[in-house]
């Protein structure tokens, strides 16, 4: 499947997106068709283990929600160390036939983040969203933000692809925002192929995610980076790691 005509829907995030090398087609700068995917047949990433161990040391959560969990790899590793981790993703393939083999079906469900989430207020000690916000159209951000802060009891950990970091984010420091229901503009096909519809500078997200009941904890980012080796999170360090703590009851 190539780029959608107007909007990234659930079926775009299929086996070609996650597993098949160069499975997603897009026109390159030279006009010739090229391919891209995560090219990960099993959904395995050994970096999950040191990261979830760092979360446990930092936040000491009993339970955790993984928003945009993909195939559930982080959920499985969090379960390994005793966290009651669950999550959801927009991709039918990721939560179905493509689910990470160690992630049980009852831990990972299909859910559109732009719809109301099936969770209670302050239900989760820790909510994580990794490479998630850049997939949300600007018109849907307010709803997603509301649901995310609503479900978070104490800690929110975000890793967001930001403008100017190269690769799928491009070199422009200003970034871009695709309009829902409109075709991908020419020249952005090579970055939008990953489903990145809203790629902004880090400060955009810091300003947008400001919340009266939460504090941005820059010191906790430094703590996290001290617990996990740089080779594991080298791509995250190119992007943005934001940690928020609820400061009101």
Q: What is the pLDDT of residues 88-132, one digit of tens each?
A: 999 999 999 999 999 999 999 999 999 999 999 999 999 999 999
Q: Is residue 152 part of a domain?
A: yes
Residue 1 has pLDDT above 70, yes or no: no
Instruction: Tell me the H-state helices in 199-247.
Output: 202-208, 218-227, 234-238
Q: How far is CA 179 from the centre of its chain?
A: 19
> What number is the average pLDDT over the span 29-48?
94
Q: Is residue 97 part of a domain?
A: yes
Q: Where are the beta strands (DSSP E) in the chain?
A: 24-27, 33-36, 63-67, 84-89, 108-110, 124-130, 152-160, 176-177, 198-199, 214-216, 240-246
**In whole angstroms, how far apart are CA 52 and each of 6, 76, 104, 135?**
36, 10, 18, 23
Q: What integer pLDDT is reported at residue 79 of this predicted model?
A: 98
pLDDT digits (tens, 9 = 90+) for 157-168: 999 999 987 777
Which neighbouring-strand residues pair with 88? 67, 109
Q: What integer pLDDT is reported at residue 29 of this predicted model?
A: 78
**What angle, 0 to 180 degrees and rounded to 10, lies between the N-to-C axes of helices 73-80 and 48-59?**
60
CA distance 162 to 155: 21
Q: Is residue 238 part of a domain?
A: yes
Higher pLDDT, 71 or 168: 71
Q: What integer pLDDT is reported at residue 216 of this predicted model?
A: 98
Q: What integer pLDDT is reported at residue 5 of this predicted model?
A: 84
Q: Is residue 161 part of a domain?
A: yes
Any idea what DSSP says for residue 179? P
Q: Is residue 38 part of a domain?
A: no
* Rg (the chain; Cα; Å): 17
Expressed as residue numbers, the domain containing 124 is: 45-246
Q: For residue 226, give every residue at least 6 positions away whose Cβ sits within 8 Å of its Cβ, in sequence order, or none.
A: none
Share of the chain above pLDDT 70, in %: 99
> What number is the average pLDDT over the span 73-102?
98
CA distance 109 to 183: 29
pLDDT digits (tens, 9 = 90+) for 180-218: 999 999 989 999 999 999 999 999 999 999 999 999 999
Q: What integer pLDDT is reported at residue 172 of this predicted model?
A: 77
CA distance 87 to 200: 25
Strands 63-67 and 124-130: parallel
CATH number of the domain within which 190 lies: 3.40.50.150
Q: Is residue 39 part of a domain?
A: no
Overall number of domains in the chain: 1
Q: What integer pLDDT is reported at residue 101 of this predicted model?
A: 98
Q: Residue 2 — very low, low, confident or very high, per pLDDT cuts 50/70/90? A: confident
Q: Are 99 and 74 a contacting pair, CB within 8 Å?
A: no
Q: Is residue 8 part of a domain?
A: no
Q: Are 100 and 72 a contacting pair, CB within 8 Å?
A: yes
Whether the pTM exceeds 0.85: the reply is yes
Q: Is residue 24 part of a domain?
A: no
């Amino acid at each position: 499947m190539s780029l959608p005509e107007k909007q990234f829907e659930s079926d775009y995030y299929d086996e070609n997106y996650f597993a098949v090398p160069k499975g997603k087609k897009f026109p390159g700068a030279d006009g010739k068709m090229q391919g891209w995917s995560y090219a990960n047949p099993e959904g395995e990433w050994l970096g999950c283990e040191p990261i979830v161990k760092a979360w446990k040391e930092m936040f000491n959560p009993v339970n955790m929600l993984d928003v945009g969990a993909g195939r559930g790899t982080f959920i499985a590793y969090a379960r390994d160390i005793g966290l009651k981790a669950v999550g959801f993703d927009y991709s039918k393939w990721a939560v179905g036939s493509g689910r990470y083999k160690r992630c049980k079906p009852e831990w990972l469900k299909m859910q559109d983040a732009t719809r109301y989430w099936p969770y209670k207020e302050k239900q989760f000690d820790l909510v994580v969203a990794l490479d998630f916000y850049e997939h949300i159209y600007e018109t849907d951000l307010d709803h997603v933000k509301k649901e995310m802060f609503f479900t978070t009891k104490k800690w929110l950990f975000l890793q967001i692809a930001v403008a100017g970091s190269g690769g799928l984010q491009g070199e422009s420091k200003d970034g871009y925002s695709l309009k829902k229901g409109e075709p991908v503009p020419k020249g952005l096909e090579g970055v939008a192929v990953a489903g990145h519809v809203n790629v902004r500078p880090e400060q955009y997200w810091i300003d947008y995610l400001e919340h009266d009941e939460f504090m941005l904890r820059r010191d906790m980012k430094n703590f996290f980076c001290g617990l996990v080796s740089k080779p594991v999170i080298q791509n995250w360090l190119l992007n943005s790691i934001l940690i928020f703590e609820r400061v009101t009851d």
